[in-house]
A and B are shown apart, each in its own frame.
Chain A
Amino acid sequence: MEQQERDAVATRLPEPAVLADKPAEVPSKHLVPVFDVQNVSIFYGSFRAVTDVSLTIYENEITAFIGSSGSGKSTVLRAFNRMNDLVPSAHMDGEIDYRGESLYAPNVSPVAVRRRIGMVFQKPNPFPKSIYENVAYGPRINGIRKKSQLDEIVESSLHKAALWDEVKNRLGASGLGLSGGQAQRLCIARTIAVEPDVVLMDEPASALDPIATGRIEDLMHELKSQYTIVIVTHNMQQATRVSDRTAFFSVLVNPDSDTRTGVLVEYGPTQQIFENPHDRRTEAYVTGRIG
């Protein structure tokens, strides 16, 4: 991208709501927005899972979504690759732009979206196939048939996922035979084998032990140079360890109707969110007083 264009993009950036009065923390002009979320509300049937979220995700950054259960962070994450489309009762108000184009425009194919925006799930979920076939699955779906090409993709994806050395001698073994941490790295390899632009991670380490979690976190740091990563996590230490930016979500209860919905409370650089939160709710959460 030309410098001028970049500057133009940067000046167009909508600022995260709570940062509007903090000019010192306006993102530097080299940041390229990947997702631009504007006033998004997501419903499951009549249940309003999350209300009026606006934020911007930047290229080659790790953005963490933190917050208590039911605050809608996973729902927003799943809106980024249109995974909510698979839930018949789900619908969305508002706008999500992906690299300047509306993600939910009628002419945009969800299949094409999901190829560009990969996802790693909470529980490691390798397909009940061999390690090789797990990684080759995506490329095959996308039309790559040549064995030599698949071999190459499988090897490089497993390298990138820091799993190659552990499995190179047993690529034909079942993916189900791996340990939890290995299986999750296999799932990461499976996701990056289709060369996505963004990797979404929905609590990728919550089912893993601390050592396996540490490896996943190291891996995220390595992947950051090539991908934009958005991670949902319950673990605040994890957010501080891995993320550049943090969005804090909370549950808003309407006492009149006894309905609850998720809201974005505060969004900003991770350090600011944890050391100098602007909202009392954020402060209460990050200091461990609630949630």
Chain B
Amino acid sequence: MTVDIDSERARDSAPAVVAARGGVRRRPRRRWGDRLLFAWTWLIIIWLALPIAVMIMFSFNNPHGRFNFTWVGFTLKWYGPHLLDYPSLTTAMENSLLVAFAATVGSVVLGTLVGLALGKYRFRGLGTANLVQFAAISAPDIVLASSLLAFFVTLRVPLGLPTIIVAHIMFCLSFVAVTVRARVLTLDRSLEEAARDLGAGPWATFRLVTLPLIFPGVLAGALLAFAISIDDFVVTSFVSGSTQTFPLWIWSATRNGLPPQVDVLGTLIFVAGLIIAATSALLGRRGTR
């Protein structure tokens, strides 16, 4: 049996391999395993990408009214001025972008400092501080949300954009801190010492040596923070007051039907994310070379 399979495999692959290399080369083994893995990989990719594909498809749909659930016909009109047909949606999207940028900047600055401290120094409370980072990541959103709401209400802070931003910085911070810390742990400390030795002060050392070295971690943290912030629903809905963000608007709009503008905005966010991810991958590849 084994012999059969082997000889068949040999017959299949030998001419191709010989033709390709023009010489002796061991035939590839585990061909069926490879094929299975290949099929499985694509199945997973399709499964993951299907909702996105549907969203992108329906952003080109031309429905009658607000119910964009059945395919009517192709149009590009939602990618024009009609995108702004719902002023409340436009405002919600602006709020979401504002919150995401503010939360990214805030959490990157604070999270990088936290990550540096956790990665570089040994101090009393280091273990606890580390644990708190992971606890904040693993805590259910709903718990964070209700405690944040209780916190703001107790302090009589009026709910709105500022409270959303504070809340987002709070839950994005840990993600940045963890990614930066991982990078700092791999940092060769003697590089900083070498910079100090050449006469660089603490700030120049950080700017010219430490920051460029941990930058991939900072960038990854920033992208993560932005992505988590822009689509956050649970925490935002608790601390938003009457302010609407993109996810909140969609949630309240589902009852009256989702207009194609939502799919268009979703598609645009997705494409922007894709571009950023591709750029960072390219930069990363260039950086390691």
Contact = CB atoms under 8 A, between A and B. Distances in A.
Contact of B212 (A86, A111, A112, A128): A128
Interface residues of B, number: 20
Contacts of B198: 114-115, 118, 137-138, 141-142, 190-191, 194
B34 interface: no
Interface stretch (A24-32, A119-127, A208-216): A119-127
Interface string B191-230: 1111111111100100011001100000000000000000
A127 B188 contact: no
Given A128-B212, A137-B195, A137-B208, A121 B190 contact: yes
A83 interface: yes
Contacts of B190: 121-123, 125
Interface in A170-216: 174, 187, 190-191, 194
Nearest to A142: B199
A138 B190 CA distance: 15
B47 interface: no
Interface in A123-164: 123, 125, 127-128, 137-138, 141-142
Interface in B141-191: 188, 190-191
B121 interface: yes
Given A121-B190, A122-B190, A191 B197 contact: yes
A138 B194 CA distance: 10
A81 interface: yes
B200 A141 contact: yes
Contacts of A83: 193, 196-197
B194 A111 contact: no
Interface residues of A, number: 25
Interface string B122-142: 000000000000000000000
A110 B198 CA distance: 11
A112 B196 CA distance: 10
A237 B192 CA distance: 31
A190 B194 contact: yes
A288 interface: no
Given A125-B188, A141-B204, A194 B199 contact: yes
A86 B193 CA distance: 8
A114 B200 CA distance: 9
Contacts of A142: 198-199
Contacts of A81: 197
Contact of B194 (A88, A112, A121): A121
Contacts of B199: 111-112, 114-115, 138, 141-142, 194
A125 B194 contact: yes
A114 B196 contact: yes
Contacts of B289: 174
18 contacts: A81-B197, A86-B192, A88-B121, A111-B199, A114-B196, A114-B198, A114-B199, A115-B199, A119-B194, A119-B197, A125-B191, A127-B194, A127-B209, A128-B212, A137-B195, A141-B198, A141-B204, A194-B198
Given A114-B196, A125-B194, A141-B198, 4 more contacts: A111-B200, A127-B191, A141-B199, A190-B198
Interface of A: 81, 83, 86, 88, 111-112, 114-115, 118-119, 121-123, 125, 127-128, 137-138, 141-142, 174, 187, 190-191, 194
